[in-house]
Amino acid sequence: MAIHGNLAVNRDRLWDSLEEMAKIGATAKGGCNRQTLTDLDGQGRRLFQQWCEAAGMTVSTDSMGDMFARREGADPALDPVAVGSHLDTQPTGGKYDGVLGVLAALELVRTLNDLEIQTEHPIEIVNWTNEEGARFAPAMLASGVFAGVYEEAWAKALTDRDGLVFGEELRRIGFEGPLPVGHRSFHAFFELHIEQGPILETEGIDIGIVTHAQGLCWLDVVVKGQDSHAGTTPMPRRQDAMVAAARMISAIEDIAQERAPDAVGTVGYVSAAPGSRNVIPGQADFTVDLRHPKQDALDAMRGAFEQRVSEIAAANGVVAEIAPVEAHEPVAFDEACLARLRSAAEALGLSHRDMISGAGHDACHIASVAPTAMIFCPCVDGLSHNEAEAITPDWAAAGANVLLRAAVETAGIVDR
């Protein structure tokens, strides 16, 4: 059976759902604070489950708290086509990061119900636990356990800044499910997400087809010198850890600029000790975030940084220690799934372009265990992880319609 010419989501119903979910954890500046495994996360999960059950789906949860809302297919033995994202937010997050992907998937099912369309494969909406990593690091935690990247016992033993334990908090809010994590397969997985960058809006393009996700390398650097009096220590005699750290940080900018436009390098945290105005810092700590869509280039960036750190440390009479924190290889998404996304955008008359995701997403882990692809819709000024994050109802609906058509084509429609 061919895809209906009028197969399109209910734009207003999708927007109403987004606005209703945004009330849970709403902030004074118009954003959301619904961090993972908090009471507010539990409240958002229960609302999502209520909506899914009202749409005729059965909802199950695995032992990492991942939620799976299933619309049965004509052949229940077939692997489901999965669609979804995450409902957790940053402490000062927006209304749409992740949430759009979950609620657009819900609107997909509601639309199939409205049109009385049955698919050959089941369709499952997924809400992945702790995508953001704001409360429990690392990010994309539960999808990582699902894909075998992390051990479940290790993940459940993680603590937040208050010492609260992931596994205990999961049980406390009532979402540690009976299903073993990762013991299920997908026919395919599609994730719709806001771009979190300015390209689509700037270029006036409706849809981003995400072909790859950048590789990532996180490092912690500790620079040790000698703290001493700021007024009495001559410049040639100093072992200033902060000066050396500043030169190392500047080197990161140079290394990324040399590999532009694909490379990015960021220092997001710096500290100096002892932290007194009139004491030369004897220690400086900083973080490093390196990203590139090609692994050999990412490896070269790390190697170049380590070489510069060694040179700068020697020149400044300090010692520098570099510790790896986290690393993800670049991800290439499935060509057949990408082709369905492009076909869907073209059938809808939507402009589209291929893109590389600079941010990590649950789809990056799932790509290792199932054919996977991502869709981006624009966001205003490319702003995300911010309470001012904004999209339009039309952008949301356009992304949801591409998701709908690609998922239905992948799942197959039953002839009647």
Does 203 lie in the same domain as 302?
A: no
Residue 3, pLDDT score: 65
Residue 326, pLDDT score: 83
* Residue 81 and residue 411 in contact, taking contact as beta carbons nearer than 8 Å: yes
Does 150 lie in the same domain as 51?
A: yes
Residue 6, pLDDT score: 75
Question: 123 pairs with which residues across the strands?
Answer: 71, 81
Last residue of a domain, one of 285, 304, 328: 328
Last residue of a domain, one of 303, 328, 353: 328
Does 343 lie in the same domain as 318?
A: no
Residue 226 Cα distances to 222, 319, 373, angstroms: 13, 10, 51
Last residue of a domain, one of 328, 348, 380: 328
pTM score over 0.85: yes
Does 122 lie in the same domain as 28?
A: yes
Residue 4, pLDDT score: 59
Does 338 lie in the same domain as 321?
A: no
Does 323 lie in the same domain as 250?
A: yes
Does 315 lie in the same domain as 222?
A: yes
pLDDT in tens, the chain (416 residues): 556 567 999 999 999 999 999 999 999 999 999 999 999 999 999 999 999 999 999 999 999 999 999 999 999 999 999 999 999 999 999 999 999 999 999 999 999 999 999 999 999 999 999 999 999 988 999 999 999 999 999 999 999 999 999 999 999 999 999 999 999 999 999 999 999 999 999 999 999 999 999 999 999 999 999 999 999 999 999 999 999 999 999 999 999 999 988 899 999 999 999 999 999 999 999 999 999 999 999 999 999 999 999 999 999 999 999 999 888 899 999 999 999 999 999 999 999 999 999 899 999 999 999 999 999 999 999 999 999 999 999 999 999 999 999 999 999 999 86
Does 159 lie in the same domain as 232?
A: no
Number of domains in the chain: 2
Nearest-angstrom CA–CA distance, 246 and 218: 18
Residue 234, pLDDT score: 97
Does 224 lie in the same domain as 198?
A: no
Does 209 lie in the same domain as 119?
A: yes
CATH number at residue 242: 3.30.70.360
Q: Which residue range forms the structural domain that includes residue 372?
A: 11-214+330-411
Does 356 lie in the same domain as 308?
A: no
CATH number at residue 150: 3.40.630.10
